[in-house]
Structure 1
Amino acid sequence: MTKDFLTEEEWLPMVRQYFKNDYRERGKIKWNGFFLSDHTAKLKQEARQEAQADQAIWAEQQSLQQIQEQVRLAYEHSRLVQVQESTVNRDNQIPPIQEGHISGFFPEGFYLDGHAFDWQEIRFAKEQHGHYRTER
């Protein structure tokens, strides 16, 4: 390796020549595959969620004590739990029943796979027998 560096007057024309004649920017073509697959996956996920919301029905209303008991049992036995929120979304759709593992608690509620739920926002909870968590 040489310690000789080109001066600005020497390398600037060489760089201009390279970008003018040799360099081929693929631009958008290079990224189309990434954007297309990500966009398609997002559209499929949104369509799935919309279909679930359209088919959702209200689960039975439970008392706060029943909900807390089901969540506690699911946590103690490392089982899946199903929960349904009590409020409709901005499109006035019934929230679908969500399923997951209880990952912790806080004074006003619990975490279902890391997502916080307040006790007052839940209308239904049911521990899923036979569906165990593999890790905690």
Structure 2
Amino acid sequence: MILHQASDDKLATEFFHRDYHDRGMLKWGGFYLSDHTSALAKMHAAERVEQAQPQQPLTEIGRELAAAWHAQQPVHLQLNILDDNQVITTVDGIVAGVNEDHIVLQLANDRFRYLTLTEIRWVAWVR
């Protein structure tokens, strides 16, 4: 009986060395609950919090956005909007259009976001 067990151990060892490929943590991905994933998302969002910049005057915001639109340069905006974690919302994109106190921002995923100048706290060109 001991000889039979030794041959089973050898067979199992060969199987794990030759045929079995462990997927590591991938096999545990399905066990996360939605509460866990949302808590992880909040934790990661809190790690990359951006410092709030001082409110720029509307004339300066308008001037910067118009110049970025003319040059077709990407901009980084801080909005006067807080997200669910009470963190200032930021948006990156290219100014696609300007109309009085409204702007159209083309985001990286080819979507558009419509904003009023009063929603914008601070603007800077991305160089």
* Same fold, judged at TM 0.5 (above): yes
Residues 115 and 52 of structure 1: is their aligned pair in 2 closer, same or farther, counting only changes over 3 Å? farther
The yes-or-no answer on 1:102 pairing with 2:95 is yes
Pairing partner for 2:76 from 75, 82, 90? 82
Structure 2: distance between partners of 1:93 and 1:87: 8
Q: How many residues align?
A: 86
Runs of at least 4 residues off by over 3 Å? none
Q: What's the TM-score once normalised by structure 2's chain length?
A: 0.55
Q: Deviations over 1:3-32 (max 9, x none)?
A: xxxxxxxxxxxxxxxxxxxxxxxxxxxxxx
Structure 1 counterpart of 2:118, one-letter code = Q
Structural RMSD (CA): 2.9
Gaps in structure 1 of 5+ consecutive residues: 1-35, 37-42, 130-136
User: For the Cα contact (< 8 Å) 1:110–1:116, is it kept in 2?
Assistant: yes
Structure 1: distance between partners of 2:115 and 2:47: 19
The yes-or-no answer on 1:66 pairing with 2:64 is no
Q: Percent identity?
A: 19
Q: Deviations over 1:67-117 (max 9, x none)?
A: 01110110101111111101213442222x321101112333101112001
